[in-house]
């Protein structure tokens, strides 16, 4: 249902993209239109929600639809081409058939876990659900974590806006929307990545190979991994970044710059680290371009490849157009010291032998082969792909190795900055393109003339057989992990019912504590499900860690019951203790902290 | 020097840094945190901390 709702939200934007870029193929218009639609919805929704009027977005969409329809009708050529591509002989080219079949297989397999789980897996979705629900209830952006904690909100709310919008349209709870939105984002990412690969290597086989490698072989940065830890904002940020990459390689005119700024700006509104990484990739590209220009003989022009100047224009336009968000954000920079962003200790060092485990056991060697094979391929697009990959791996090493090394050496503590693993997560996208190129080259080992005769006079080429085998083997490879993603009980059904009862029947100032009998349960979901405060409210590393430190002081055994009582009274809270007996029944009692702590 | 060549150099430099720190971590030189990334039979990657 959410997927259909999202398509309703995206349809006007797809039509607008089709109208503005009639030279694109239908496949390109659909994929980039959907991704651009998400970006535009985030941008527009963010602006409206910052005035507390998110619902006005639903009035904008018919207007966009009307504008797109007028442009399309005025450019009947675009409409004619679209119909011809949909119904004409071009509709059944090998490229479009393989693209559709593999993408449909990916979508089908990703839908299984999304539709069979009630709550998303992982810790992160428990706070995404809180932020999305806050927007759904108020129609406005949140500025803090109330009613849970009185600390300012730093996390960007682009993802939560989309969740709230889809939840309002579909009448589904935001946690269900989360699951299905991840499928939509990941299917679009696979499709967009395939388009980028086709563009880089000018070969549809590289595109289909990329679909296979990204859809089935990627570990971190792929659907299975995002689904396990609930990384929807990272996935969405990466998709928006892919949109910018596609435009860099394809459309560098004024319209392309405008759309690129929407992609980059909405990345800022969605996921800070993805935006930071986009800036890092752009900065490295511009630096290398400048060094090349300085070292070159006189008479050469800076940015002759067009890609550098495109990034400069997009960057400047984004800075201006999104200044309403960026200026207040930079004014809050001093709060960075209250967060764990620069002293992040949740992740240990990633070592050499662990790298294939993170990237994917098949993807790692395959992408390495593609990287080596691509050396002989000459194009500016390929240079961009290489710098994109280099920026991510170099950035990862600077944070995970150099920064951590200095922290260990100077402070005798093991921590890093931001989340280095996200650099590897985002590196899987260009690596999937290299792996796709390796798969494409594998097919060309077989001469085009080798073919098997099928009944009714049809031929199946050896290259086609290779593709069939690759798709089959990759699907089976990925399918084996489906079991561990599907029909997982994040919380016992009875506990979810108790949470619902607590939400209905306890005063708004109730403060929940969980007995040790619930230690094994994912009680961090209780904040969202009960809408009541507790020490288990999931607050990410980007936020002030003051509440966490306060709870640690109060509730780390041996606890001081008097101090807890005083703290509750001071904050006007009513303490409730939730426990479960060995028979599995739940009990809720007014707080009277037992000896040894809750 | 072309962008492509510089990019290859940076990529190899990063690989060098990565190799050296992996070596140091294996020998518990400077990097002494006992926590490591592991993979369970379900293919889930998580942090195991024998030090806690």
User: Looking at residue A595, what is its pLDDT?
Assistant: 47
- Alpha-carbon distance A127 to A114, whole Å? 18
The pLDDT of residue A168 is above 50:
yes
The pLDDT of residue A84 is above 90:
no
Rounded to the nearest angstrom, the minimum Cα separation between A497 and chain B is 29
Contact A348 B47 (CB under 8 A): yes
- Render the burial of B26-51: b for 16+ CB within 10 Å, e for the rest: eeeebbebebebeeeeebbbeeeeee
Angle at A336 between CA A330 and CA A339, to 5 degrees: 145
Rounded to the nearest angstrom, the minimum Cα separation between A112 and chain B is 17
What pTM was computed for the model?
0.93
Residue B14, C-beta contacts closer than 8 angstroms, at least 6 positions apart: A390, A393, A394, A396, A397
Contact A358 B18 (CB under 8 A): no
In this complex, which of A292, A349, A358 lies closest to B21 when CB atoms are compared?
A349
For residue A340, the 8-state DSSP code is: S
Contact A481 B31 (CB under 8 A): no
β-pair partners for A451: A461
- Out of A87-101, A296-310, B9-23, pick the least confident: A87-101
**For residues A571-584, average pLDDT:** 92
- Alpha-carbon distance A323 to A306, whole Å? 26
> A350 touching B, CB under 8 A?
yes
- Out of A85-94, A129-138, A586-595, pick the least confident: A85-94
**For residues A3-28, average pLDDT:** 87
- Render the burial of A56-80: b for 16+ CB within 10 Å, e for the rest: ebeeebeebeeebeebbeeeeebbe
**For residues A126-154, average pLDDT:** 95
Q: Phi then psi for A182, rounded to 5 degrees?
A: -60, -40
Answer yes or no: are the C-beta atoms of A432 and A218 closer than 8 Å.
yes
The pLDDT of residue A447 is above 50:
yes
> A4 touching B, CB under 8 A?
no
pLDDT range class, residue A415, cuts 50, 70, 90: very high
In this complex, which of A228, A349, A397 lies closest to B44 when CB atoms are compared?
A228
- Alpha-carbon distance A558 to A595, whole Å? 8
In this complex, which of A288, A402, A408 lies closest to B17 when CB atoms are compared?
A402
In this complex, which of B3, B8, B31 lies closest to A292 when CB atoms are compared?
B3
In this complex, which of A219, A288, A351 lies closest to B3 when CB atoms are compared?
A288
Nearest CA in chain A to B2: A292
Q: What is the pLDDT of residues A377-386, one digit of tens each?
A: 988 899 999 9
Dihedral (CA of A508, A511, A516, A520) sign? positive
Q: Phi then psi for A138, rounded to 5 degrees?
A: -105, -20
Q: What is the mean pLDDT of chain A?
A: 90
pLDDT range class, residue A596, cuts 50, 70, 90: very low
Nearest to A118 by CA among A182, A183, A175: A175
- Bigger pLDDT: A100 vs A443: A100
- Alpha-carbon distance A311 to A280, whole Å? 12
Nearest to A132 by CA among A175, A192, A180: A175
> A295 touching B, CB under 8 A?
yes
Burial of A355 (0-12, 13-18, 19+ CB in 10 A): middle
Q: Phi then psi for A149, rounded to 5 degrees?
A: -140, 145
- Alpha-carbon distance A490 to A493, whole Å? 9
By three-state DSSP, how is residue A405 classified?
helix
Residues in chain A closer than 8 A to B47 (CB atoms): 346-348
Rounded to the nearest angstrom, the minimum Cα separation between B27 and chain A is 12
Answer yes or no: are the C-beta atoms of A246 and A195 closer than 8 Å.
yes
Rounded to the nearest angstrom, the minimum Cα separation between A175 and chain B is 22
Rounded to the nearest angstrom, the minimum Cα separation between A274 and chain B is 20
Q: What is the pLDDT of residues A342-382, one digit of tens each?
A: 888 889 999 999 999 999 999 999 999 999 999 999 888 99
Other residues' Cβ atoms within 10 Å of the Cβ of residue A153: 19
Residues in chain A closer than 8 A to B20 (CB atoms): 401
Residue A50, C-beta contacts closer than 8 angstroms, at least 6 positions apart: A140, A141, A324
Contact B3 A220 (CB under 8 A): no
**For residues A16-41, average pLDDT:** 93
Q: What is the pLDDT of residues A503-512, one digit of tens each?
A: 999 999 999 9
Contact B19 A352 (CB under 8 A): yes
Residues in chain A closer than 8 A to B46 (CB atoms): none
**For residues A420-432, average pLDDT:** 96
Contact B18 A401 (CB under 8 A): yes
- Bigger pLDDT: B46 vs B8: B8
> A389 touching B, CB under 8 A?
yes
- Alpha-carbon distance A341 to A562, whole Å? 34
Residue A194, C-beta contacts closer than 8 angstroms, at least 6 positions apart: A99, A103, A207, A208, A210, A211, A214, A436
């Amino acid at each position: 249902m959410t997927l259909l709702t999202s398509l309703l939200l995206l349809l006007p934007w797809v039509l607008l993209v089709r109208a503005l870029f009639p030279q694109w193929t239908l496949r390109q218009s659909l994929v980039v239109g959907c991704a651009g639609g998400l970006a535009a919805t985030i941008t527009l929704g963010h602006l409206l929600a910052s005035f507390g009027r998110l619902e006005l977005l639903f009035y904008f969409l018919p207007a966009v639809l009307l504008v797109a329809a007028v442009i399309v009708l005025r450019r009947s050529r675009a409409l004619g081409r679209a119909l011809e591509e949909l119904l004409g002989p071009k509709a059944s080219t090998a490229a479009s058939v393989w693209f559709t079949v593999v993408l449909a297989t990916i979508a089908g397999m990703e839908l299984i876990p999304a539709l069979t789980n009630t709550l998303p897996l992982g810790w992160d979705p428990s706070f995404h659900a809180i932020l999305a629900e806050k927007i759904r209830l108020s129609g406005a952006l949140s500025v803090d974590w109330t009613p849970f904690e009185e600390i300012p909100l730093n996390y960007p709310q682009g993802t939560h806006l989309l969740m709230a919008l889809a939840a309002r349209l579909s009448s589904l709870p935001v946690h269900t929307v989360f699951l299905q939105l991840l499928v939509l984002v990941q299917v679009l990412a696979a499709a967009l990545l395939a388009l980028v690969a086709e563009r880089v290597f000018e070969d549809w086989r590289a595109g289909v190979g990329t679909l296979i490698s990204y859809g089935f072989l990627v570990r971190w940065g792929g659907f299975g991994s995002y689904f396990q830890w609930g990384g929807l904002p990272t996935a969405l940020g990466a998709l928006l970044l892919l949109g910018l990459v596609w435009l860099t390689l394809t459309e560098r005119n004024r319209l392309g710059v405008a759309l690129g700024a929407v992609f980059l700006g909405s990345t800022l509104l969605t996921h800070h680290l993805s935006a930071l990484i986009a800036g890092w990739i752009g900065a490295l590209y511009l630096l290398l371009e400048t060094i090349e220009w300085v070292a070159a003989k006189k008479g050469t022009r800076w940015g002759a490849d067009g890609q550098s100047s495109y990034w400069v224009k997009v960057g400047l336009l984004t800075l201006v157009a999104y200044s309403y968000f960026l200026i207040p954000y930079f004014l809050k920079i001093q709060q960075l010291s209250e967060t764990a962003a620069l002293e992040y200790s949740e992740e240990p060092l990633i070592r050499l032998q662990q790298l294939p485990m993170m990237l994917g056991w098949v993807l790692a060697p395959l992408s390495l082969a593609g990287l080596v094979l691509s050396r002989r391929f000459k194009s500016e697009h390929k240079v961009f792909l290489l710098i994109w990959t280099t920026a991510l791996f170099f950035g990862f090493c600077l944070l995970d190795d150099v920064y951590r090394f200095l922290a260990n050496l100077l402070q005798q503590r093991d921590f890093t900055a931001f989340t280095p693993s996200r650099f590897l997560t985002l590196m899987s996208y260009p690596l999937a393109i290299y792996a796709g190129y390796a798969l494409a080259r594998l097919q060309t080992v077989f001469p085009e003339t080798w073919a098997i005769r099928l009944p009714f006079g049809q031929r199946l080429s050896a290259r086609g057989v290779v593709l069939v085998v690759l798709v089959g083997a990759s699907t089976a490879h990925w399918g084996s992990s489906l079991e561990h993603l599907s029909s997982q009980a994040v919380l016992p059904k009875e506990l979810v019912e108790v949470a619902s009862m607590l939400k209905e029947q306890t005063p708004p100032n109730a403060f929940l504590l969980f007995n040790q009998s619930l230690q094994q349960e994912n009680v961090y979901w209780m904040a969202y499900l009960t809408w009541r405060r507790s020490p288990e409210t999931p607050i990410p590393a980007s936020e002030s860690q003051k509440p966490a430190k306060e709870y640690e002081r109060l509730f780390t055994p041996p606890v001081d019951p008097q101090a807890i009582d005083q703290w509750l009274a001071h904050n006007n809270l009513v303490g409730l203790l939730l426990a479960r007996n060995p028979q599995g029944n739940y009990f809720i009692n007014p707080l009277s902290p037992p000896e040894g702590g809750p | 020097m072309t962008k492509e060549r510089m990019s290859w150099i940076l990529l190899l430099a990063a690989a060098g840094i990565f190799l050296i720190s992996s070596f140091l971590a294996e020998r518990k030189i400077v990097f002494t945190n006992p926590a490591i990334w592991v993979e369970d039979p379900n293919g889930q990657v998580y942090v195991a901390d024998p030090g806690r």
